[in-house]
Amino acid sequence: MSFETALRSRLKALPALAGAFVEWDVRPQASSYPAVVLETIGGERAQTMAGLQQTNRDRIQFNCFAMDKVSAVALREAVIATVADPAIVEGIEFQRGQIILHRSDSESTDAGTVRIEIVDAYLWHATV
């Protein structure tokens, strides 16, 4: 199992994200709200003279979309609580994540103003 697949599965299992669209990199225009779109900002693969280390670090951006501020913040807080907790999901060990920052945004759509809460976090992970 890949880190990306395991992280998506981990988020989709959250009660706070029940029914939410959760996907990497894209949110189709016709997709519903709430939604969480994941993006890799950068990844590190540490190594020594002996080779690659088992634990990797990726900086992930979580874009939490909802039609109102309260719902967007609830998504944000669910994401933060999840990545801050260590877990093993689908053969991937997630160590305690580090929240780098979060910020708010919005966009105008045909459906109205969409609220966006954005979280950047470092995630350490390894295959078990």
DSSP states along 51-92 = EE-S-EEEEEEEEEEESSHHHHHHHHHHHHHHHHS-EEETTE
CB 126 within 8 A of CB 53: no
Q: What is the pLDDT of residues 38-55, one digit of tens each?
A: 999 998 766 666 766 778
How far apart CA 124 and CA 91 sit, in angstroms, is: 14
In the predicted model, what is the mean pLDDT of residues 22-43?
Answer: 89
Among 20-29, 30-39, 68-77, the range with the most confident prediction by mean pLDDT is 68-77
Q: What is the pLDDT of residues 66-120, one digit of tens each?
A: 999 999 999 999 999 999 999 999 999 999 999 999 999 999 888 789 999 999 9
Task: Give φ, ψ of 19 to 5 degrees.
Answer: 85, -5
How far apart CA 32 and CA 19 sit, in angstroms, is: 9
CB 81 within 8 A of CB 62: no
